[in-house]
Amino acid sequence: MNLLDEVTALCKRRGIIYPNSEIYGGIGGFYDYGPVGVEMKNNLKRYWWKYMVDKRENVVGIDGTIITHPKVWEASGHVKNFGDEVVECKNCHQRFRPEDIDGKCPKCGHKEFTSPRSYNLLFSTEVGVIEDAKMKAYLRGEACQTIYLDFKNVVDSTRQQIPFSIAQIGKAFRNEITPGKLTFRSREFEQWDMQFFVHPNDMQKYFDYWKEERMNFYKSLYRKPENLRFHQHDKEHLAFYAKDAYDIEYNAPWGWAENEGIHWRGDYDLTQHSKFSGADLTYTDPATGEKFIPNIVETSGGVDRTFLMLLLDAYEVEALDNGSQRTVLKVNKEIAAYRAAIFPLVNNKEDIVNKAREIFDNLSDKYKIVWDSRGNIGKRYRYQDEIGTPYCITVDYQTLEDDTVTIRDRDTMEQHRVKIADIEKDIA
Ligand code: ATP
């Protein structure tokens, strides 16, 4: 089995990611996060928010809707241009993006295809209940558009002045032709986006700044930073309004793959929305009185893609001294679903269970903790290793005598005894 298959199997086995609607045979490109996965994903989003919003005085957040006025997607160019090319295998009739076929059909090996046809990725729906008053609308194809729509509201309702930024984490929908590689290319996914509004003269400075900042973010998150690199878009692939763009790529088992884009959007977005809506989106500098359309540096990444790449980065199968092996997720402890697991050594000794419960309750004020009293301690370690729990805390007979517990480290498997009062510090 290759790494992606192993990680996919682990996700299903341990409640990290499940295929959506599985009892109906599944639906391509849609996934659910299970009990372990939802904790990890929430931690990941919090990690981003802390890095991008909480620690900066000039970044504020919003939470915009998935359905907007349909004109938004005309102004943005998505109704006309948000497409991919699709070719169809003449033998098995599967459809692919031309860049995914490499001369022969990935499904059946046949070498003849239809000529490429373009295909719009926007999902559409209808708003309104009365048949002839229904309005065609779209599920947002990228989260950032709601940021542009709220730009003026944020300027008018907060103390922010340019340069400042609006951040958002939210769902986006794309009717991808070839969803696959677990959540790497899905049809419903989440993006973390930041749009930094600046004076046109300051674009280069902030473009360079955010490019480095975003790389630093990913380096702080992954275990193997050597698997990250920049890829600069060549001129012919740049959006027509963009002066420069870089992808941050991760070295996935199938090759370097985009994790996030840093885009020089210039004044394109606010100019388009001014034109299509009629609203004046110029900004007046309060100090100089200068009026201008703010320029934008965008950082736009995929939460689900980062999540998947984190799993690939963290997954290890290790040989143990006794000849067996363990699967372990050596994931950043800020992202792990649980900071620690509490093991009462035995289930039938009330003093031990009560002591363990007390520790669980106290630690839960600060961390997400999981309780595990099933099976022997070795089995419990194996299970927690697979979901990446950094620490396992065992309450045993000695605890009743001297108020100490055993803490076992996920990565080194070393164990040491710690006073109950010192646990919180020890697992920090
Ligand atoms: P790709 O070229 O891989 O389709 P993109 O360049 O179209 O990606 P952007 O429009 O720049 O992607 O979106 C920003 C981020 O959103 C991407 O870097 C990626 O992490 C994430 N993303 C885009 N499409 C998907 C998808 N179908 N499934 C999961 N994440 C996605």
Average pLDDT over residues 240-254: 93
- Band of the pLDDT at 103, cuts 50, 70, 90? confident
Residues contacting ligand 1 via CB (< 6 Å):
142, 174, 176, 185-186, 189, 191, 258-261, 300-302, 304-305
Give, for 199, the enclosing helix (H) or strand (E).
none
- Band of the pLDDT at 178, cuts 50, 70, 90? confident
Q: What is the distance between the alpha carbons of residues 58 and 201, in angstroms, rounded to a whole number?
A: 18
Q: What is the distance between the alpha carbons of residues 34 and 311, in angstroms, rounded to a whole number?
A: 15
Q: Is the predicted pLDDT of residue 71 greater than 80, yes or no? A: yes
Residue with tokens 């710690």: 418
| Residue (of 71, 64, 77) closest to 269 by Cα position | 77
Average pLDDT over residues 32-52: 98
The per-residue pLDDT for 393 is 98
Expressed in angstroms and rounded, the spacing between residue 259 Cα and the centre of ligand 1 is 8
List domains and CATH numbers for the chain: 3-69+141-312 (3.30.930.10), 338-426 (3.40.50.800)
| Beta-carbon contacts of residue 401 (< 8 Å; ≥ 6 apart) | none
Pairwise pLDDT comparison (134 vs 247), residue with the higher score: 247
Q: What is the distance between the alpha carbons of residues 406 and 418, in angstroms, rounded to a whole number?
A: 6
The per-residue pLDDT for 374 is 93
- Band of the pLDDT at 84, cuts 50, 70, 90? confident
Name the residue with the closest Cα to ligand 1, atom 16. Answer: 302
What DSSP character marks residue 294?
P
Name the residue with the closest Cα to ligand 1, atom 2. Answer: 258
DSSP code string of 160-195: --SSEEEEEEEEEE---SS-BTTTTB-SEEEEEEEE
User: 142 with 300: CB under 8 angstroms?
Assistant: yes
Q: Is the predicted pLDDT of residue 83 greater than 80, yes or no? A: no
Task: Locate 13 and state its tokens.
Answer: 């086995």
Chain segment 180-237, per-residue pLDDT in tens: 899 999 999 999 999 999 999 999 999 999 999 999 999 999 999 999 999 999 988 7
Name the residue with the closest Cα to ligand 1, atom 30. Answer: 302
Name the residue with the closest Cα to ligand 1, atom 4. Answer: 185
The per-residue pLDDT for 400 is 96
Please list the alpha-helical segments (H only) found in 261-345.
268-277, 303-314
Chain segment 112-121, per-residue pLDDT in tens: 888 887 778 8
Q: Is the predicted pLDDT of residue 86 greater than 90, yes or no? A: no
Q: What is the distance between the alpha carbons of residues 147 and 160, in angstroms, rounded to a whole number?
A: 15
Expressed in angstroms and rounded, the spacing between residue 93 Cα and the centre of ligand 1 is 26
DSSP code string of 227-280: GEEEEEPPGGGS-TT-S-EEEEEEEETTEEEEEEEEEEEETHHHHHHHHHH---
The per-residue pLDDT for 129 is 77
Residue of 33, 139, 189, 299 to mutate, ligand 1, most atoms within 8 A of C-beta: 189
The per-residue pLDDT for 342 is 98
Chain segment 301-328, per-residue pLDDT in tens: 999 999 999 999 999 999 998 899 999 9
**Rounded (10°) angle between helices 303-314 and 203-221:** 40
Q: What is the distance between the alpha carbons of residues 171 and 68, in angstroms, rounded to a whole number?
A: 13
Task: Locate 403 and state its tokens.
Answer: 């108020």
Expressed in angstroms and rounded, the spacing between residue 261 Cα and the centre of ligand 1 is 8
Average pLDDT over residues 365-384: 95
Average of per-residue pLDDT values in the chain = 94
Chain segment 383-405, per-residue pLDDT in tens: 999 999 999 999 999 999 999 99
Name the residue with the closest Cα to ligand 1, atom 24. Answer: 185
| Beta-carbon contacts of residue 53 (< 8 Å; ≥ 6 apart) | 59, 60, 61, 167
Torsion of CA 370, 374, 380, 385, to 10 degrees: -50
Pairwise pLDDT comparison (100 vs 68), residue with the higher score: 68
Expressed in angstroms and rounded, the spacing between residue 248 Cα and the centre of ligand 1 is 11
The per-residue pLDDT for 237 is 79
Three-state secondary structure of 90-110: CCCCCEECHHHCCCCCCCCCC
| Beta-carbon contacts of residue 96 (< 8 Å; ≥ 6 apart) | 86, 87, 88, 89, 105, 106, 113, 177, 178
Name the residue with the closest Cα to ligand 1, atom 27. Answer: 185
Q: Is 128 exposed, middle or buried (0-12, 13-18, 19+ CB in 10 A)?
A: exposed
Q: What is the distance between the alpha carbons of residues 45 and 334, in angstroms, rounded to a whole number?
A: 11
- Band of the pLDDT at 417, cuts 50, 70, 90? very high
